[in-house]
Structure formats: C-alpha cells, structure tokens
Chains A and B, each alone.
Chain A
Amino acid sequence: MCLKLAPADVRQCPRCGSAMHVRKNDSIQRTLALLITACLLYIPANLYPVMYTDSLGSAEGTTIMGGVVLLINLGSAPVALVIFIFSVMVPSAKLMAMFYLVWSVQQQSSLDLRKRSTLYRITEFVGKWSMVDIFVVTILVALVQLGGILTIKPGIAALLFAGVVIITMIAAENFDSRLIWDNMEEKNSAN
C-alpha cells in the first residue's frame, strides 16, 4: 500500500498499518472467479437494450452495438469509433488479456515477461474508460426529457454493462503482476 519494505514475517506494515502479504492472497483464484462473472454478465449486456428512445409515442431500444451503428448513420464516424473501441473492443480485449495472463502464470511460463507486464499495466489503465458508454446513457437520460416529443429511458443493459466494467476492474486489481516474474526467479535459482 505505501511501498514500504518490511521483513517478510511482519504481519502489519510499520508505516501505514495495512495488513501485509508477500503476494496478494489467492490472487489467481479471485481473478479467475471475477473474470468468469464478468464474462457471464457480458453476454446479456450486449443483447439487451442499453436505452429506449421514445419519440412521438414510438419506443425503440438500442443495444451497445446498435448505438455504434446509429452514430455511423448520423455521419459521426470518429465518435462511433470512440464508442466502439471503449465499449466493444476494450472490454472483450481486456477479458481475453486477463485470461491469458492468468493462464500464463498457471503454466509458469517465463517468456515475454516484460511484454506481459506491459500488457497488464495497459489492461489496468484502460479499464475505467469502458464506463464512457454508461456515462453517455446517463447524460442522455437526464437531458433528453422533452415530454411526448422525445424521451430517453435507461435499459437493463446499462446496469449489466456497468457491472462488467467494475468487476473486470476489481479482477485486474486482484491479479498480482509480480506472479509473472516469480517463475523467472525460480528458474534462475534452479539453474
């Protein structure tokens, strides 16, 4: 927590009082459990509408991908690209990257250590940017309330997708990147 070095047998940090562990507890199990939860939530999050547009009495649901298509049709391809990257590519790429990291640690692989470390840092950094779509829905729901002319209501997928983003963030936090490097040290000392 506070980057203080202490002997491995000390239970509590002398500087900030946090509980101390050599590695995070049950890192792999927790990360894997959270990743599977996120995968399960990710399916309905993409199938159900994230918001309903009610224009002059006719209601219409839009899914996350539907929103991207709508933006392209409106002629704003750059914004469509932003939404596509953050809401479609980042969450799925992140899930795959985390599964790969967990798998490679389980395999005790000692290849591409630096690359995998960088991959983990990117995954950790990019996580919160997936919330963009949730915030967009929030703003639209609050702003677009023009009585019968045009109203936007939130859909169930907003809740599910927010769940996916937060759970993958917690999963990334639970993963201990030092495990990637532990294998190398063990192999070096074995030689």
Chain B
Amino acid sequence: MGSDTACQSCDLLVSVAATKHGESASCPRCGCFLTRCYDDANHRVLAYSSAGLMFLLFASSYSFLSLSRSGVENKITLLQTPAALWSYGMPEVGALVAAFIIVIPATVLAMMAALCILINQGRYHSWLVPLAKGIFLGQHWSMVEVFIIAVIVALVKIAAMATVVIGISFWAYAAFTVCFTLAVSSLDRYQCWERIEALKAQ
C-alpha cells in the first residue's frame, strides 16, 4: 500500500496505509470517513454488481405496478414510468428521472463489474482509469434508494382512491437497490485507486 492521503473534507494529511482487512479509517480532525479496507473487496463488488444487473433486467421486463378502479385497469412497467412524463409534455423531467433511477445506476454497476474483472486479471489495462473515474462520478448521481421510498409514498397516496397491485418487477427493483447499495459501499475509493496504481507500476 502506498503513502499518506489528504482528508477530502479538511485537507489534513493522514496515514491510512496501515488499515487492515475489516478496518476503517476516519479523519482525526474533522471526523470525515476516509477508507475501509477489505482484502476480498474485488470479489464482493463483482458479485453484488452482477447480481444487481440481473435484478435490473428482471425489473424492467415484468409489470411494475398495476392499478384498477371500476373495472378499468392500468398496468405499467419500470421503463414506462419516466416515459409517461415524456408523453405528458415534460420530457426534461422524464429524462432526468430515467437517468437517476435506471441509466446511471445501470451504467455504474456495469462499469464496476468491468473494473473488477479487469483488476482480477492482474494486469494493467488502459480502461481502468476511465472506468474508475466514471464509477466515482456516477455514484453520486444515482437515486435508486430514493425511488424505492417514493414508490411506497405513492402507493399510500393512491391506495385510498383505487386498488393497487405490486408486480414482480417491484420486488426485483428492491433487490437491485440492495445489491447496488452493497456494491457501492464495498468499493472503497482509496483502496481502488491504490490497486490500480499497483497494477500500473508492475
């Protein structure tokens, strides 16, 4: 492991190189989280991200929610949700929602899986750096867990007006959320860049 790092929050120079498996470090001055070390982080991230991608595939292929009242029924899939805003004259919001809940999380997971596969090969690859940069940028802008809360709120709101049935896609999306969160929290920024640099130095 390499040299010291600077705390992102207050710029204090800290030595975290001695962090061992299962330990985490935070800044002594401002309390900001610095790094968490897992020796098997690569395998964890690969497992979570590939599972998450599969759940997302399920989530987008079956019915997400359905609603019925007085004999009229409306069934939607996950992809139809942002598309509806588009067709009601709000393409901007539709595109943003689609990006936050599907496109960005899916891209981040795919990039994570690719990064882990490349690192597991044990050789330096020119894609490693752009992949890692993309992952840490995209993580900030994915809102899968927010969307799950929103679904629950929406269900409570309409339960009084009509009958709502939760489709299999919803459960798949919930599982995707869990996998996504686990994958993101298992990939430590400091450790990941240290590993890339170690491969480059070989």
Give every chain B residue within 8 A of A145 (Cβ-Cβ): 74, 84
Q: How distant is the Cα of A82 from the Cα of B129 in the complex, in angstroms?
A: 39
Hey, which bits of chain B sit against chain A, CB under 8 A? 3-6, 8-13, 29-32, 65-70, 72, 74, 76, 80-85, 88-90, 92-94, 96-97, 100-101, 129, 132-133, 136, 140-141, 143, 146-147, 149-154, 156-158, 160-162, 164, 189-190, 193, 196-197
How far is A135 from B70 in the complex, measured between Cα atoms in Å? 26
Known: A146-B162, A154-B88. A17 touches B150 (CB 8 A): no
**Quick check: A173 and B158 within 8 Å, CB to CB?**
no
With a CB–CB cut-off of 8 A, which chain B residues contact A144? 67, 74, 158, 161-162
A16 to B136, CA, bound (A): 12
**Given that A128-B146, A136-B157, A162-B93 are known contacts, is A2 also in contact with B132, CB under 8 Å in the complex?**
yes
Sample (13) of A-B pairs whose CB atoms are under 8 Å apart: A1-B133, A16-B129, A67-B157, A79-B156, A82-B149, A129-B146, A136-B150, A138-B84, A143-B66, A145-B74, A146-B69, A154-B90, A181-B10
> In the complex, which residues 137-186 of chain A have their Cβ closer than 8 Å to any Cβ of chain B?
138-147, 149-150, 153-154, 158-159, 162, 166, 173, 177-178, 180-182
Q: Are B72 and A147 in contact (CB under 8 A)?
A: yes
Tell whether, in the assembled complex, residue B10 and residue A117 are in contact, meaning their CB atoms are under 8 Å apart.
yes
Report the minimal beta-carbon distance from A11 to chain B, rounded to whole angstroms. Answer: 17
In the bound complex, CA of A145 to CA of B83 (Å): 13
**B8 adjacent to A3 (CB under 8 Å):** yes
A19 CB–B CB distance under 8 Å: no
Residues of A within 8 A of B94 (CB): 138
B30 touches A181 (CB 8 A): yes
Interface size counted on chain A using CB atoms at 8 A: 55
How near does chain A come to B100, taking the closest CB pair, in angstroms? 7
- Asked if A92 is at the interface (CB within 8 A of a chain B CB), the reply is no
Q: How far is the CA of A181 from the CA of B9 in the complex (A)?
A: 9
The 10 closest A-B pairs by CB, nearest first: A135-B150, A142-B84, A181-B10, A117-B30, A139-B154, A2-B193, A178-B11, A142-B81, A146-B72, A79-B156
Q: Does B96 lie within 8 Å of A162, measured CB to CB?
A: yes
Knowing A74-B157, A142-B84, say if A121 contacts B32 (CB, 8 Å).
Answer: yes
Q: What's the least CB distance linking A114 to chain B, in Å?
A: 6
Contact A181:B11 (CB < 8 A) given known A3-B6, A3-B193, A17-B129:
yes
A29 close to chain B: CB less than 8 A: no
Tell me which residues across on chain B come within 8 A of A117, comparing CB atoms.
9-10, 30-32
Q: Are A114 and B31 in contact (CB under 8 A)?
A: yes
Decide if A141 touches B69 in the complex (CB within 8 Å).
no
Q: Does A89 contact B (CB under 8 A)?
A: no
Number of A-B contacts (CB under 8 A): 176
The answer to whether A158 and B93 touch across the interface, beta carbons within 8 angstroms, is yes
Q: Give the shortest distance, in Å, between B191 (CB) and chain A (any CB).
A: 10
Contact of A5 among B6, B85, B158 (CB under 8 A): B6
A159 and B90: CB pair below 8 A? yes
User: What residue of chain A has the Cβ atom nearest to residue B66's Cβ?
Assistant: A143
Of the candidates B30, B153, B162, which one forms a contact with A136 in the assembled complex, judged by CB atoms under 8 Å apart? B153
A15 beta carbon closer than 8 Å to chain B: yes
In the assembly, what is the distance between CA of A178 and CA of B90, in Å? 39
**Chain A nearest Cβ from B85, distance in angstroms:** 6
A63 to chain B, nearest CB (A): 15
In the complex, which residues of chain B have a beta carbon less than 8 angstroms from the beta carbon of A141? 84-85, 88
Measured between beta carbons, the chain A residues less than 8 angstroms from B70 are 146, 149
Given A117-B32, A128-B146, A146-B70, 17 other A-B residues pairs in contact with their CB atoms under 8 A: A3-B6, A3-B193, A5-B3, A5-B4, A5-B13, A71-B157, A118-B30, A132-B153, A135-B150, A136-B153, A139-B65, A139-B150, A142-B80, A144-B158, A153-B88, A177-B8, A181-B11
